[in-house]
A = this chain, B = another copy of it.
Amino acid sequence: MYQTNCMVAQSGGPTAAINASLAGVISGVKESSAYQTCYGAVNGILGIQTENYLNLTERIADDETLKRLIATPAMYLGSCRHRLPDFREDEGPYTHIFRQFEKLGVGAFFYIGGNDSMDTVQKLSDYARKTDSSVRIIGIPKTIDNDLCMTDHTPGFGSAAKYIACTMLEIAHDTFIYPVKSVTIVEIMGRDAGWLAASAALARCGYSDAPHLIYLPEAPFSAEQFLSDVKAKLAVCSNVVVAVSEGIRDLSGRYITASQASDQFGHLQLSGAGKALEFLVKENLGVKVRSVEINVLQRCASHLASACDLSESFALGRRAVALSASGVTASMVTISRTGDDPYTVSYGHAPVKEIANLAKSVPRSWISEAGNDICPQMYAYLRPLIQGEHPVTYKNGIPDYLPVTHLKPQL
């Protein structure tokens, strides 16, 4: 006999795997005796405030639809970037949210998101405890940045890393073709952590060393050292490819942007690290140079998702449902690595207060001493996460994703 219903929402930036976690929740609810209906709040926590819900148990009823949901990029439920106030200062939003839970018979709330979203999980958990509410609050991790604590890695990261590695290899092929020296700078997302830029190294294979240089935010960036690095590589390799995190900073912590190049070369701020490095090479080395910004493609390219990532994301969604049914709350589900080769993991959970608003950087010891490459530990860590290709169904030549008409993409 069903005890209650439950609710799920998504928050923060898109990934190729966040709908796999949503599918995991829906699948977990279907097989659970604890919950009857799974509601989805549209646009994160805002959807509860505006009472905008989807009945996911009805909408995603058959296996075919569930499979399409797993493969669909960005967020089926839409997102928000909304921070709840401290409930000791403003209780309004909390009383409304928990009244909604009561009205809909919601016994558990799952929030799929990153560091900021875990702040919401913690605040809702604290409020539930304070008011003796029995609603379990569980976070499900998601971020291409891979910067959540207490979990070996984060759903969404593996797919973004796979996209970056594959794209980097294809860009490398693009650079090989002319018999003239060239430098290609590829800017990769990751404002505070270099995990994504590091994953460019997975493009290296039997015949290609690209990217030849990798710069992460965790190692201070020096323009002089960079130019000297590039010069040294150009001496032994015609077509140098550089992977750079958008978040690189100088010794004093200032971001390297095209505007900083402006002080030297008269350019105004228009762009980020990739353009800044392009200017540096152009002005100082006089060699053919181009910068490529992978941009949003790395977080929404479901056509190249990592099968490992999608399957783990799905499993975490199911695990969240099972844990909540057993009474766990104020927690985030986590992945623990139990082996690198063969790669094995187990799923667990950790108190959300040890995760919310914190960030996990790349250990300095996983970056080369010169700060321009990664170390073997990083390869061992990254490689399993991009394995496997999730099948995509195409229709009329484009992926047949699950329609998101409820987000009103057209009127």
Contact = CB atoms under 8 A, between A and B. Distances in A.
Nearest to A235: B411
Contacts of A395: 205
Interface-central residue, A79, A208, A299, A387, by most chain B CB under 10 Å? A208
A297 B167 contact: yes
Give the one of A275, A297, A399, A410 with max B CB within 10 A: A410
Contacts of A302: 170
A174 B74 contact: yes
A33 interface: no
Contacts of A411: 236-237
A293 B293 contact: yes
Interface residues of A, number: 79
B407 A386 contact: no
B74 A300 contact: no
Contact of A396 (B175, B275, B383): B383
Contacts of A207: 403-405, 409-410
A116 interface: no
A13 B290 CA distance: 15
Interface in A346-402: 383, 386-389, 394-399, 401
Interface of A: 14, 43, 46, 72-75, 78-81, 162, 165-167, 169-179, 202-203, 205-210, 236-239, 258, 266-268, 270-271, 275, 290, 292-297, 299-304, 306, 383, 386-389, 394-399, 401, 403-405, 407-411
